[in-house]
Every structure is written in C-alpha cells, then in structure tokens.
Copies of this chain bind each other. A is one copy, B any other.
Amino acid sequence: VLKSGGKGEATRAAILDQALEIASADGLEGLSLGTLAAEVGMSKSGLFAHFRSKEQLQLSALARGVERFVAKVVAPAVKAERGEPRVRALFDLLLRWDRHEFTGGCVLQTAVVEFDDHPGPVRDFVVETQRDWFDTLTKVARAGVESRAFKKDLDARLFAFELANIFLGYRRHARLLRDRDAEKLAKKALDELLERARA
C-alpha cells in the first residue's frame, strides 16, 4: 500500500490524475483498473492493491478532482475582494479550468450526468460535491452583501443558482455547440446578474 506523505502520496496523485484524464474522455464508467493499469504501466494487481474495486477507484479519482478544483478555482477566487471582484475571479478561473484542466472537459461535470440516476456511493459523492459548490457560490453572494457591494435584500441562493447556470450554459455553448460567442454570451449574462445584485 502506498504510504501517506512524500513519494507515496505523489505517486498516488499521479495515478489518479491519469485516471481523471481517462474519465474526462470516456466517463467514470470508462475507467477500470484494467484500462488504468495499461495507461500508467502498472500491473492490474498492483493497482488493485491500492484501490480494491472500480468503485473505490472512481471515488478516489473524484476526490482528487475536487482537491484540484479547490486549489485552482475556489481558493484563488476567494482571495479576491468581496462582491464583484470575487465573482469575476471565480468566473475567469472556472473558464480557464473548463478549457485547460482536462482534455475532455470538467470531469466533475461529466460525473454529474453519468450518475444522476444511478444510486450508490459515487452518486452520493457527486451530490455532495455539487452541494459544496452551490454553498460556495451562495457564500460568495453573501460576502458581497456583508461588504455592502451587493444590495441588502439580495436573494443569495437565487444569485448562486443563476451564477451556476451561466457556467452550465457556457459549457453547452463552448464545448457542445462550439459557439465562438460562448464566452461573450456568458460574460453578458454575468454583467446583467451583477448589475441586478449591485447595492
């Protein structure tokens, strides 16, 4: 078993990053100990010693994805000033994440659709990450109210709902429709949302 800390941790993270690349293209269901073993040049039994089952591998890969998402999107965004700068930072970081982090697009988003109707530990984990994401957006809205950048009676959950929707819409237009105006449309929708939120 890989030791925690040091080289073991780094190896484990590298294996899971490879797993996320596979899942980004083929979905979490396309991720098996066999396909991953071939990619990382380990034996299937060697991988089995670490992850025990396809489900454990899927869960570990998702957890690694969340770790990277927090480090690259959430943590830097909340360093920005409360209110509009923080919302715009989140928007810019999320667009960068969506474009560059994985070849096949955001693997956490792929998991949402793959597992929305499949009860079990993977779905539970996906729901938890989406609730955390929605909570983060709600807190970003509330922080803007506290700093008096946003109006006192702002509906923070509605703001979070609409902000999350802009991200979904951007993905659809950019990734599926390959619409060159995807970012422009998303930015305009964001401007309108911020306009309405302003104190």
Residues of A within 8 A of B (CB): 24-25, 27, 104-105, 109-110, 112-114, 116-117, 126-127, 130-131, 134, 155, 157-158, 161-162, 164-166, 168-169, 172-173, 175-178, 181, 185-186, 188-189, 192, 196
Contacts and interface: CB of A to CB of B under 8 A. Distances in A.
Given A104-B117, A165-B169, A166-B165, A112 B176 contact: yes
> Secondary structure at chain A's binding surface: helix, strand, loop or mixed?
helix
A37 B73 CA distance: 46
Given A24-B117, A109-B113, A113-B114, 14 more contacts: A105-B117, A110-B113, A113-B113, A116-B175, A117-B175, A127-B177, A157-B181, A158-B189, A162-B169, A165-B165, A165-B166, A168-B168, A168-B172, A192-B196
Nearest to A189: B162
A15 to B, nearest CB: 22
